Amino acid sequence: MLPLAKHTLDLLALGAAGVAALALILAVAAHARVARLRRGFRALEGPQGPQSVLEAITGTRRETAELRQAIQGAHAELAQARADLADALRHVAVVRYDAFGDMGGRLSFTAALLDDAGDGLVLTSIHGRSEARTYAKGIKAGKSEQSLSPEEDQAIELALKGPGR
């Protein structure tokens, strides 16, 4: 019975040695693979040179947060610019005409300068043979407290209906 037991022990020892060798080969392969992955992770290029994946992710998150703040600031500035632009006298129309029948060349004119709400002013210059007179009238919501000439009404209407309105 002893020789059988010794033979069995030899087989077991040989099998254990084979499993150990296989485990050693697998461990070396796994170590090589992990080392290659670490080199790959370290090889990411950042603004300051090579960096790890965690450093790259942290930097990207920080940059994203900074960009979001910058976008929010830009939205606020854009809203302010739009509000300022609404108050600008940017709707302009000019009507030229002959104020007097015996005059030629349409030297008289009326200019309407209005903002988005229809507020602004109307400038009228009436040109005669010996003199020229200029009048300015305030406009609120497309209307004036003073009486308006047909040319002034026309200039206001053209300014309010002008390009983009």
Rg (C-alpha) for the chain, rounded Å, is: 44
Point out the least confidently predicted range of 27-36, 42-51, 92-101, 111-120. Answer: 42-51
CA distance linking residue 77 with residue 72, whole number of Å: 9
Query: ∠103-93-88 over CA atoms, to 5°?
Result: 140
128 shares its domain with 147? yes
Q: Which residues are CB-contacts of 50 (< 8 A; sequence separation ≥ 6)? A: 42, 43, 44
- Asked whether the predicted pLDDT for residue 100 surpasses 70, the reply is yes
Q: What is the dihedral of CA 50, 51, 53, 56, to 10 degrees?
A: -100
76 shares its domain with 96? no
The DSSP call for residue 99 is S
- Predicted local confidence at residue 1, as pLDDT: 45
- Identify whether 15 is part of a domain: no
Average pLDDT, the chain: 86
67 shares its domain with 43? yes
- Identify whether 5 is part of a domain: no
Residue 109 domain boundaries: 91-160
Both structure tokens of 92: 């302009």
Q: Which of 25, 60, 86 corresponds to the end of one domain? A: 86
75 shares its domain with 100? no
CA distance linking residue 154 with residue 148, whole number of Å: 10
- Identify whether 115 is part of a domain: yes
Q: Amino acid letter at 54? A: L
- Identify whether 44 is part of a domain: yes
- Identify whether 56 is part of a domain: yes
- Overall number of domains in the chain: 2
- Predicted local confidence at residue 57, as pLDDT: 82
56 shares its domain with 117? no
The model's pTM is 0.55
102 shares its domain with 53? no
Helix (H, G, I), strand (E, B), or coil: what is residue 77? helix
98 shares its domain with 152? yes
133 shares its domain with 112? yes
Instruction: Give burial (CB, 10 Å; 0-12/13-18/19+) of 113.
Output: buried
- Identify whether 14 is part of a domain: no
- Identify whether 34 is part of a domain: no
Mean pLDDT of 78-94: 89
**142 close to 156: Cβ distance less than 8 angstroms:** yes
Neighbours of 19 (CB within 10 A): 10
- Identify whether 147 is part of a domain: yes
Mean pLDDT of 80-96: 89
Both structure tokens of 32: 């090589």
The residue whose two tokens read 């010996």 is 130
105 shares its domain with 79? no
109 shares its domain with 155? yes
Query: 113 falls in which pLDDT band (50, 70, 90)?
Result: very high
